[in-house]
């Protein structure tokens, strides 16, 4: 596959795929006080990685994390890419934070696996820092 400027822009990274995984604390305010606090794990996947993985879903038919990310992500535009809210849970104990950190790490590893596939497919050398 030839990398055009348009495709490079859709990777978000100058030399390869770039995506994000975040763990956010979300405070919900109702009227004049905090009503609840939630933990949210969100993945922002660059558009080209998402599209290439989706085109090659047969190779990932046994990978439930990749399937879940692809099947549940929504396109929010070029700036945010494909967004998947992987976990939203009320932050009412330390166990919820531990669970959210595990989910975040699992999503991180899944996106790294997706990026490796894209790097191989496009014959790019990884240039990121470990």
Residues 48-91: tens digit of each pLDDT: 999 999 999 999 999 999 999 999 999 999 999 999 999 999 99
127 in a structural domain: no
Is residue 74 in a domain? Answer: yes
Residue 129 lies in a domain: no
Cα separation, 24 vs 114, in Å, equals 23
**Selection from 118, 12, 101, 60 nearest residue 70 by Cα:** 60
Question: In this predicted structure, what is the pLDDT of residue 14?
Answer: 78
pLDDT of 81-123, one tens digit each?
999 999 999 999 999 999 999 999 999 999 999 999 999 999 9
Q: Looking at the domain assignment, is residue 130 inside a domain?
A: no
Phi and psi, residue 78, nearest 5°: -60, -35
Residue 96 belongs to a domain: yes
Joined together, the tokens standing for residue 8 give 């490079």
The conformation of residue 80, written as its DSSP 8-state character, comes to T
Structural domain count, the chain? 1
Q: Is residue 92 within 8 Å of 29, Cβ to Cβ?
A: no
Question: 28 in a domain, yes or no?
Answer: yes
Instruction: Please check whether residue 96 is in contact with residue 89, taking contact to mean a CB–CB distance below 8 angstroms.
Output: yes
Res. 128: pLDDT tops 80: no
Q: Which domain holds residue 96?
A: 5-122
Residue 79 within a domain: yes
Dist CA 86 CA 17 (whole Å): 20
pLDDT band at 129 (very low <50, low <70, confident <90, very high): low
Q: Is residue 110 part of a domain?
A: yes
Backbone region of residue 87 per phi and psi (left: phi > 0; alpha: psi in -120 to 50; beta: other values) = beta
- CA distance linking residue 86 with residue 110, whole number of Å: 12
């Amino acid at each position: 596959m030839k990398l055009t400027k348009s495709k490079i822009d859709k990777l978000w990274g100058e030399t390869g795929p770039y995506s994000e995984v975040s763990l956010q604390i979300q405070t919900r305010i109702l009227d004049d006080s905090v009503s609840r606090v939630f933990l949210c794990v969100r993945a922002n996947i660059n558009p080209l990685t998402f599209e290439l993985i989706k085109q090659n879903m047969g190779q990932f038919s046994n990978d439930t994390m990749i399937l879940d990310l692809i099947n549940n992500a929504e396109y929010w535009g070029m700036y945010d890419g494909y967004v998947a809210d992987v976990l939203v849970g009320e932050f009412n104990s330390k166990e919820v934070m531990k669970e959210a950190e595990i989910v975040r790490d699992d999503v991180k590893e899944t996106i790294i696996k997706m990026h490796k596939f894209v790097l191989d497919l496009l014959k790019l050398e990884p240039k990121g820092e470990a």
